[in-house]
Amino acid sequence: MTEKLSNELEKRCQDLEENLKVVRENIAQAALRAGKKESEVTLLAATKTVPVEVINYGIQLGIAHIGENRVQELLSKIDDLSPCDRQFIGHLQTNKVRQLVGKVSMIQSVDSVKLAQEISKISEQKGLYTDILIEVNIGREENKSGIAPEKLEDLLYEIASYPAIRIRGLMAIPPVSENILETKRYFENMSQYFVDIKGKKIDNVIMDYLSMGMSADYVQAIEAGANLVRVGSSLFGARVYL
């Protein structure tokens, strides 16, 4: 490693240490306002584009869960990553499922019967279970991943019986908005779906995770009921795409 790169990495690690304190404090405060304990909200670090050295430093600081968006990037990092819980949070194509299953504990971005079927089939072949969240397109945006809210229940009933997946909850990314109150309304809608579905006690549907909130809005997400937040740039700084 060149001297320059090593200095740069060191700087990024120092920044991460400071940022992590702030994010943890914000999570603790928001959890309190939501009537939860800090420990009831899971921080997942979104690590796309972040060098493995910086991720490993974060793991050393106590980051226990990381999320990657692209199968290829995850696989390129995986051998060098320190032990931690790995999850998949990006859009997943059916033809990449085989490479992914077994490498992550949870796939947060399942939005179709076809994808759930493939994950179950391949998990079964590999002799394991894969936890999944259903991604909901809460803003009903065209060209965006996620199932439409009105189709959510049918999807759950359809896939609940698949043998090698466990449905653990819901995930959402609300529409980009300058107006935090608008974002908060989407979070509250999601929370309502989450509570409603949990109340239905569908066989094999566990519903213990509501994954929503990113750097710009994780506080509001927790206040609205999220118990898993996916934070990237507020921890690692702005992403640099090479």
**Interface residues with ligand PLP (CB under 6 A)?**
46, 48, 69, 89-90, 173, 214-216, 230-234
Q: How far is the CB of 162 from ligand PLP (least distance, A)?
A: 23
Least CB distance from residue 197 to ligand PLP, whole Å? 21
- Sign of the Cα torsion 199, 197, 96, 113 reads positive
Cβ distance to ligand PLP smaller for residue 75 or 202: 75
Q: Which segments within the chain are labelled E, that is strand?
A: 42-46, 65-68, 85-88, 106-110, 130-136, 165-172, 205-211, 228-231
What letter would DSSP give residue 95?
G
Q: Please say whether the beta carbons of 202 and 169 come within 8 A.
A: no
**Packing angle of the helix pair 3-33, 52-60 (nearest 10 deg):** 50
Q: How far is the CB of 199 from ligand PLP (least distance, A)?
A: 27
For tokens 């060209």, the residue is 143
Within 8 A by CB and 6+ apart from 182, the residues are none
User: Which residue, 164 or 237, is less far from ligand PLP as judged by CB?
Assistant: 237
Shortest Cβ distance from residue 202 to ligand PLP (Å)?
A: 25
Residue of minimal Cβ distance to ligand PLP: 232
Nearer to ligand PLP, 162 or 171 (CB): 171
β-bridge partners, 166? 131
Q: Which is nearer to ligand PLP, 86 or 230 (CB)?
A: 230
Shortest Å, Cβ 46 to ligand PLP: 3
Report the residue number, 108 or 191, with the smaller CB distance to ligand PLP. Answer: 108
